Structure 1
Amino acid sequence: MVESESHPLDSVFHVLGDATRRRMLRDLAAGERTVGELAAPAAMSLAAASKHIQALERAGLIHREVRGRTHWCRLAPGRLAAAHRWLGFYERFWTDRLDVLEGLLREEEAMRNRTPKGEEG
């Protein structure tokens, strides 16, 4: 069965797949920026920057406000927090698995250190 509506995290992870958008989000973490300020580091046109910003808006990661003729953008961290919580499950999963592996390797090393040199098999 095909879902008629995608999960909000789908669009978040899709948008985060682009390095330019990730840089824009990183810049916005320091405070609001104009579209021109977001475009400048990548030396892209305002039209190209606007397309990236629209994608970030659709994903719910930023808010844009028009003041006069200037478009100001600011970070909307809620969806990023939801993505972080989702990823947290896998962080705990892999941390637990690596802890088990570390324990097994330590046991193996301890057994090797207990075996006299002449009795190695």
Structure 2
Amino acid sequence: MLVDRYQIFENIESVQFKTKKKKKMTANKRLFQETSTKKSFRLKKSKKYYAHNFFSIIFFIFPLHFLVKTLTLLYLNLYFSFIVLQLLLKLLNILFSLLLHFLKIVISDFFLSSKSHIF
């Protein structure tokens, strides 16, 4: 009984295999199939191209970002050091002006005192 069922199944399968015929493609269908495969290939290629561009842009932007960041920090560092330098120069200017003023007072007092002794 089992063998009969297996043979029946095998016969049905062979009949189905025999009834399947290759369909002849018309020229339009063949052209459509070729163009669709070309389009899908082109689409895959363009996706790869855009993905490549995306990653190349990312790998270009990150170093550029770090370069801009370091240049900005360097600029700020120089800017603040320049501000500190300006403040130091102003402080030195004030100190020298005070010293000069003090020297003027001392020298003038000295000369005034010496003149008073002379006359």
Structure 1 length-normalised TM: 0.34
Larger Rg: 2
Greater relative contact order (Cα < 8 A, sep 6+): 1
TM-score scaled by length of structure 2: 0.34
User: Which one has the bigger helix percentage?
Assistant: 2
